Structure 1
Amino acid sequence: MFVKQLSVFVENKQGALSDVVALLSENGINMRAISIADTQDFGVLRMIVQDCEKAKAVLKAEKVIVAVNEVVAVELADKPGALSEVLKVLSGGGVNVEYMYAFVNPVKQSSACVVLRATDNEKAAGLLKERNIPLISQEELDAI
């Protein structure tokens, strides 16, 4: 029901992001989605990758601070209002979205994938399922 996301703490200096991405590339790890939020001193790089455990091991071996979090991946029609519907369902159910990012699904040209972390992922997934809003599994993301 949930997908694994890497959260990597990257120093906010020239080349730091490039180094992390190069490390993954050199080890054959493909990124499916990426988002970065910054502060003055560091950034939090959030990624969905094809082999999360391998990526975590590679990064830890290089002393990179990394954590694995569970997030909800939602399939949306690529049309106006689709995201609004999801957010209304969550808000109406008392669930707050802490952060989210999206990417176009290359397999299903008419759909997008929204990755989100909620205050209660279990409740968020349940609310979306009740409304027949499709969730994307780890296996489906790995197959993209």
Structure 2
Amino acid sequence: MIIEQLSVFLENRSGRLHEVFEILGKANINVSACSMADTSEFGILRLIPSDPAGAREILKNNLFSVNVSEVISFAAPNSPGALSKALKILADANIGIEYLYGFSPGDKSFIVLRPDDAQKAVEEFQKHEMELISASDLYKF
């Protein structure tokens, strides 16, 4: 249930984000989820590609700085308070969260988060019967 996420460091200049997605598209690598954070000088693009190893290799070959990290993904009802309930499970287990991002295509919200202990977070969510999303399932959305 642990998913490999790539973090790509980008100079904050026009067209740089496009280059990443153009390279991945030409390599037939799909991106199921992504998030962009920026400062005035650089940005960090976090993405979940259909082929993490291939995406990492091709981006490095094109001179992008890329790191791989472990994240988890889960589904929760798309309703007020649902995310709070899920995050309480982790808080009660003393699991910190570095960041999260998500989307809500309908009745469910899909959340990707980076906990400080991914395996423990998976175990806690399983114990509380949370719907964990595998990498292969995430690619279907």
Match status 1:86 vs 2:91: no
Q: CA deviation at 1:139?
A: 2.2
Report the Cα distance in structure 1 between the residues aligned to 2:23 and 2:104, rounded to whole angstroms: 25
Q: Which residue of 2 aligns with 1:110?
A: 107
Q: CA deviation at 1:21?
A: 1.6
Q: Which runs of 4+ in 1 moved over 4 A?
A: none
Question: Could you give the per-residue CA deviations for residues 121-144 of structure 1, whole angstroms, max 9, x where no partner exists?
Answer: 122111111111111112212344
CA-based RMSD of the aligned residues comes to: 1.5
Q: Which residue of 2 aligns with 1:16?
A: 16
The answer (yes or no) to whether the contact 1:50–1:141 under 8 Å persists in 2 is: no
Report the Cα distance in structure 2 between the residues aligned to 1:130 and 1:94, rounded to whole angstroms: 15
Percent of aligned pairs sharing the same letter: 38
Q: Which residue of 2 aligns with 1:136?
A: 133
Report the Cα distance in structure 2 between the residues aligned to 1:142 and 1:100, rounded to whole angstroms: 18
Report the Cα distance in structure 2 between the residues aligned to 1:68 and 1:103, rounded to whole angstroms: 22
Relative to the length of structure 1, the TM-score reads 0.90
In structure 2, what residue type is equivalent to 1:120? D
Report the Cα distance in structure 2 between the residues aligned to 1:8 and 1:123, rounded to whole angstroms: 26
Report the Cα distance in structure 2 between the residues aligned to 1:22 and 1:140, rounded to whole angstroms: 24
Q: Which residue of 1 aligns with 2:116?
A: 119
The answer (yes or no) to whether the contact 2:31–2:139 under 8 Å persists in 1 is: no
Q: Which residue of 2 aligns with 1:40?
A: 40
For residue 5 of structure 1, give the secondary structure of its aligned residue in structure 2: strand
Q: Which residue of 2 aligns with 1:59?
A: 59
Report the Cα distance in structure 1 between the residues aligned to 2:96 and 2:52, rounded to whole angstroms: 26
Aligned residues: 141
| Structure 1 spans left out of the alignment, 5+ residues | none
